């Protein structure tokens, strides 16, 4: 188990960073490690990123995760969203069991005390990508299948960004306090995500890129539109995107990624669009 904290960075400081400093502050590798529950706690809207890959024994939030947020247990004042990108998995939350298949999601409301993560078959383990965020009220737990998510097709083959957005934790699907979460899958031959680019100063965002072959990667663009930077991101690595930063990228092949947001609102379309000619 690992627990890491990422502190908020001003764009003036970020624009002085070399490659290693950019990676140290904005790239989150090593979340999905077999047999481990690894956590990165960020100071961007207090969003936490975690990965759980249970093998023979279930994994669980511990006293260390409660201390991380200064509460009696980790979800005492936080809500949780997760997506399974591995084999069949099983979540037990305060005695209720949820069986999750590939690309199924789960929402747990504030106040959930005991949470365990298990794989149905340790030889084909579940891979739970997890986010938690502060919550002011409790909403009911819900298992969201891929079919129950809101599917939004976007883009075209001509612009190499034909994709489908699956909105899981979204006001059109279920109520949450602030956490918004979904999955985007690019079609074969498409490589660009979130282009044209945008920012949303009211919310931060995080990405987890996955389904990238070993010899492939994405070039993730970040920074202010007039002063962009880039990060090379490989399979099952995450990105923390500050509210002042664009967040988009292109891969050497098609791929998928999970996006999540926390902040002042849950308006998915509340974006400040960037004209293509304004990117530098």
Q: Which residues, given as ranges, of the chain have pLDDT below 70?
A: 267-268
| pLDDT value, residue 165 | 95
What CATH number labels 3-278? Answer: 2.60.120.10
**205 is an annotated ligand-binding site residue:** yes
pLDDT of residue 279: 80
Q: Can you give the chain as a three-state secondary structure string?
A: CCEEEECCCCHHHHCCCCHHHHHHHHEECCCCCECCEEEEEECCCCCEEEEEECCCCCEECCHHHHHHHCCCCCCCCEEEEEEECCCCEEEEECCEEEEECCCCEEEECCCCCCEEEEECCCCCCCCEEEEEEECCCCCCCEEECCCCCEEEEECCCCCCCCEEEEEEECCCCCCCCCCEEEEEEECCCCCEECCCCEECCCEEEEEEEECCCCCCCEEEEEEECCEEEEEEECCCEEEEECCCCEEEEEECCCCEEEEEEEECCCCCCCCEECCHHHCC
pLDDT tens column, 107-118: 999 999 999 999
Q: What is the spatial distance between Cα 97 and Cα 119, in angstroms, rounded to a whole number? A: 12
Residue 200 labeled ligand binder:
yes
The reply, when asked if residue 10 is annotated as ligand binding, is: no
User: Is 147 annotated in some ligand binding site?
Assistant: no
d(CA 103, CA 146): 6
pLDDT of residue 268: 64
The confidence score (pLDDT) of residue 190 equals 95
CA gap 237, 121 in Å, rounded:
24
**Total-model pTM:** 0.95
Give the pLDDT score at 210.
98
pLDDT score for 1: 82
Neighbouring-strand partners of residue 137: none
Sequence spans of domains, the chain? 3-278
pLDDT digits (tens, 9 = 90+) for 150-195: 999 999 999 999 999 999 999 999 999 999 999 999 999 999 987 7
Q: Is the Cα torsion angle 97, 130, 83, 153 positive or negative in sign?
A: positive
Say how far apart CA 36 and CA 204 lie, in whole Å.
Answer: 26
């Amino acid at each position: 188990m690992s627990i890491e904290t990422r502190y908020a960075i001003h764009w003036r400081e970020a624009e002085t960073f070399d490659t290693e400093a950019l990676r140290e502050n904005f790239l989150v590798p090593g979340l999905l490690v077999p047999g481990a529950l690894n956590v990165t706690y960020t100071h961007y809207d207090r969003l936490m990123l975690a990965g759980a890959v249970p093998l023979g024994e279930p994994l669980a939030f511990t006293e260390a995760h409660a201390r991380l947020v200064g509460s009696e247990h980790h979800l005492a004042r936080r809500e949780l969203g997760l997506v399974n990108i591995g084999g069949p998995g099983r979540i037990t939350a305060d005695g209720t069991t949820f069986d999750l298949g590939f690309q199924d999601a789960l929402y747990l409301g504030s106040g959930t005390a005991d949470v365990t993560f298990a794989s149905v078959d340790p030889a084909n383990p579940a891979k739970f990508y997890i986010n938690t965020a502060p919550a002011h009220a409790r909403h009911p737990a819900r298992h969201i299948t891929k079919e129950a998510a809101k599917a939004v097709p976007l883009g075209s083959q001509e612009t190499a960004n034909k994709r489908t957005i699956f909105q899981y934790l979204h006001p059109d699907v279920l109520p949450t306090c602030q956490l918004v979460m979904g999955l985007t899958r690019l079609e074969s031959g498409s490589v660009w995500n979130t282009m044209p680019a945008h920012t949303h100063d009211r919310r931060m965002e995080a990405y987890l890129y996955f389904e990238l072959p070993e010899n492939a990667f994405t070039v993730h663009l970040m920074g202010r539109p007039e002063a962009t930077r880039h990060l090379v991101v490989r399979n099952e690595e995450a990105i923390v995107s500050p509210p002042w930063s664009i967040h988009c990228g292109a891969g050497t092949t098609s791929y998928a990624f999970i996006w999540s947001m926390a902040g002042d609102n849950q308006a998915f379309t509340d974006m400040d669009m960037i004209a293509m000619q304004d990117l530098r």
